[in-house]
Structure 1
Amino acid sequence: MSEPLTRAHLAPALLFSLVLHLLLLGGLSRFDHVRENAAPPVPETMLITLATVAQAPPPAIPASAEPPPAPVAPEPPPARKPPSQRADAPASLDLPLAGAPDSAVPAGRTTEERPPPVEEEARADVASTPVESRRDGDVIDDGRTHAYDDDYTPPSPRQMLIGEARLEFDVFRGGSLHIGRTRYHWVHDGTRYRMETVTETTGLAGLLKPLRIDQSSEGELTDSGLRPMRYEQDARQAKPADEQVVFDWANNRVMLSRGEQRSEHPLLPGSQDMISLWLEVIWRAQVGGEFDFSVASGRRYSPRWFVPDAETSSLETGFGRLLVQRIRIRAQPGDNQVEIWLAPNLRWLPVRIQFTDRKGDVYDQRIRQIEYDKRTLSATPGTTAATTSGESLTPQVPKEPDMDIPIFLR
């Protein structure tokens, strides 16, 4: 049988157990002291959390911020809204994109307000400008400027003047008294021209005071206008003396003669004589705008200013109501004041010419007949003699022709 355990037997065992525990506790303390300077172990849960954060996508841009503008083609440059409209966006979004053009839409202007390229503006302005439709004297549009065409050249008289035309006017004094007729005839071949007029009293005036005046002008047609060479006036059955004007363009001199009187003057560019001025007016009216030139007769050489109305109007004529362009011809004191009405639908031919002399007497030429381009237009009988309200219908005897005879009779 085994020997029973006694206190004597347990004492050594307890001592051994105590020593063993002391040894174990001393070794663990030294082990822990060595590991005090080492990083503490990372908990497994923390490792899992970090791995999750590393795999998560970047945080989304706040809903109030606008995405940065996407790069676009160099033309047109990308436009960005003003900073005031992007107050909520991050500051980095306001930086220009790499490779984007430096030009930007000015502050305060949105993408929709970006101005079009200069070329588009020019094309838009040209499209909105009336285009001239001049074709050898036909009706043209109101716009007569060519600000966008550096190569534009105004049409010349060769293009704008009818090759040959005959016009006949009834002449009235004071608006109602029919005293005579005036006939115009011209012809040109594109290089030279010749024009003739005949004015004579008719009816009762012709019986009481017979008068006939023939005028002629000849010269050249150039791109810049008519260039008269010689003007003559032959007065028959009347006091006015014969007149003559010679234009010396080579030496820039103009010589005037009236009866025995002679004078010479420097010749100014664009100068005309008493009847070539009508052809000059016809083609210049088609070019448009105001113009001026000097006019020579046998007794004086003075400037004239031509002022067209801003808009066309209508005029009752022997051919019916016509579209007309009125031009006022202004002269120095002592010269007659003239108004002329041109009909664009009749190749810009004159249909009325009114003269006011220095005494205030009015002489009115109203169209009676036109021949051009193998066409003949005749006024309805009696229509050219229409009177103005308030005018007397009592026949009047015209004054005896004298030095104050109207410009178209001199």
Structure 2
Amino acid sequence: MHLLRLHRLLAACLAAALLVATSGLAAAPKQLSLKYDLLQQGVTFASVKDQLTVTGNKYQIDSLAEGKGIYKLMGERTLSSQGDVADNSLRPAHFESRQSKHADKALISDFDWGKKVLKMQVKGEQQSEKLSKGTQDLLSVLYCWMWQPPKGKQVKLAVANGKKLSPHTFVVTEETTPLQTEAGTFNVIKLTDSDGEKTLYLAKDKGYLPVKLVVMDDGKRMEQVITSITGQ
């Protein structure tokens, strides 16, 4: 699978919590670095590195996906999100998606919360959609739950993926068997998308950090598994 497509798919699937601790900025880390392996049918072919920085009431998130071995030929994929920390949530202001091999396919989104309009630059063309309260982008959706934890047995959220706004609904259940990863062993809860093709595992003992994601696509099993956690 093309790295660009897979990384977008994996990121879009994480429409639930990344680090659900307690509400309030004081409980959230100021610096956080995460590393993941990407696997297809059990074989590692790429890695993802995410970096979150919070300064005052501003946040910056950067993500880098790059292939391993022969998959390095596909180039790198970068995502970035920046905005405000307001009302116990992340409020995106600017989002970018870029791929080193395809500079002409850059996706750029600007969030105009005053006018409630999402302005998107898709391959050089301008598009717009109406913003709804709580809308996140592909990166902020991974981290916004540190300030505003999900409630109940379902999570509903709109996500701007750079091309359009998409609604997501996740069913939350608890796993009884701990999950073992390179980064450690975790007690997890499981969030399953309404389409039944995506499952996200969150570590309860690590502030509901996402430690594993499973995606079934065209009969193939894709996984994103945590390998390293550092931060403060």
Shorter-normalised TM-score: what interval?
A: 0.7 to 0.9
Q: Distance in 2 between matches of 1:370 and 1:173?
A: 22
Matched, 1:242 2:106: yes
Matched with 2:208 is 348
1:326 and 1:253, CA in 2 relative to 1: closer, same or farther beyond 3 A? same
Q: Distance in 2 between matches of 1:290 and 1:233?
A: 29
1:349 and 1:294, CA in 2 relative to 1: closer, same or farther beyond 3 A? same
- What amino acid sits opposite 2:227 in the alignment? R
Matched with 2:38 is 171
Q: Distance in 2 between matches of 1:303 and 1:162?
A: 28
Q: Distance in 1 between matches of 2:151 and 2:112?
A: 27
- In the alignment, structure 2 segments of 5+ residues that lack a partner are 1-18
- Cα displacement (A) at 1:223: 2.4
Structure number with the higher helix fraction is 1
Matched with 2:4 is none
1:215 and 1:329, CA in 2 relative to 1: closer, same or farther beyond 3 A? same
CA contact (8 A) 2:20 2:145 kept: no
Q: Distance in 2 between matches of 1:255 and 1:314?
A: 42
CA contact (8 A) 1:183 1:199 kept: yes
CA contact (8 A) 2:38 2:225 kept: yes
Matched with 1:204 is 70
CA contact (8 A) 1:157 1:226 kept: no
Q: Residue 309 of structure 1 aligns to a residue in which SS?
A: strand
Matched with 2:6 is none
Q: State TM-score, norm by structure 2.
A: 0.81
Matched, 1:272 2:136: yes
Matched with 1:180 is 46
1:365 and 1:137, CA in 2 relative to 1: closer, same or farther beyond 3 A? closer
- Cα displacement (A) at 1:210: 2.7
Question: Deviations 1:22-63 (Å, cap 9, x if unpaired)?
Answer: xxxxxxxxxxxxxxxxxxxxxxxxxxxxxxxxxxxxxxxxxx
- What amino acid sits opposite 1:354 in the alignment? V
1:350 and 1:187, CA in 2 relative to 1: closer, same or farther beyond 3 A? same
Q: Distance in 2 between matches of 1:310 and 1:350?
A: 14
- If asked which structure has higher relative contact order (CA below 8 Å, sep 6+), I would say 2
- Cα displacement (A) at 1:242: 0.4
Q: Residue 25 of structure 2 aligns to a residue in which SS?
A: helix
Q: Distance in 2 between matches of 1:267 and 1:328?
A: 25
Select 2:224's aligned residue among 365, 371, 378: 365
Question: Deviations 1:354-378 (Å, cap 9, x if unpaired)?
Answer: 3334x343321111111123xxxxx
Select 2:198's aligned residue among 338, 356, 363: 338
Give the aligned length. Answer: 214
Within 5 A, what are the aligned runs for 1:106-121?
none
CA contact (8 A) 2:190 2:200 kept: yes
1:330 and 1:187, CA in 2 relative to 1: closer, same or farther beyond 3 A? farther
Matched with 1:108 is none
Structure number with the higher strand fraction is 2
- Cα displacement (A) at 1:299: 1.5
Q: Residue 279 of structure 1 aligns to a residue in which SS?
A: helix
Within 5 A, what are the aligned runs for 1:368-379?
368-373=227-232
- Cα displacement (A) at 1:161: 2.6
CA contact (8 A) 2:190 2:202 kept: yes
- Cα displacement (A) at 1:330: 3.8
Question: Deviations 1:68-114 (Å, cap 9, x if unpaired)?
Answer: xxxxxxxxxxxxxxxxxxxxxxxxxxxxxxxxxxxxxxxxxxxxxxx
- Cα displacement (A) at 1:302: 1.3
Q: Give me the identity figure in percent.
A: 22
- Cα displacement (A) at 1:321: 2.9
Q: State TM-score, norm by structure 1.
A: 0.48
Which is greater in Rg?
1
- What amino acid sits opposite 1:163 in the alignment? K
Q: Residue 205 of structure 1 aligns to a residue in which SS?
A: helix
Q: Distance in 1 between matches of 2:222 and 2:93?
A: 29
- Cα displacement (A) at 1:192: 1.4
1:321 and 1:213, CA in 2 relative to 1: closer, same or farther beyond 3 A? same
Q: Residue 277 of structure 1 aligns to a residue in which SS?
A: helix
Matched with 1:216 is 80
Q: Distance in 2 between matches of 1:240 and 1:178?
A: 28
Matched, 1:253 2:117: yes
- Cα displacement (A) at 1:290: 2.2
- Cα displacement (A) at 1:188: 1.1
Matched, 1:156 2:41: no
1:225 and 1:288, CA in 2 relative to 1: closer, same or farther beyond 3 A? farther
1:303 and 1:342, CA in 2 relative to 1: closer, same or farther beyond 3 A? same
CA contact (8 A) 1:326 1:339 kept: yes
Select 2:163's aligned residue among 273, 292, 299: 299
1:217 and 1:320, CA in 2 relative to 1: closer, same or farther beyond 3 A? closer
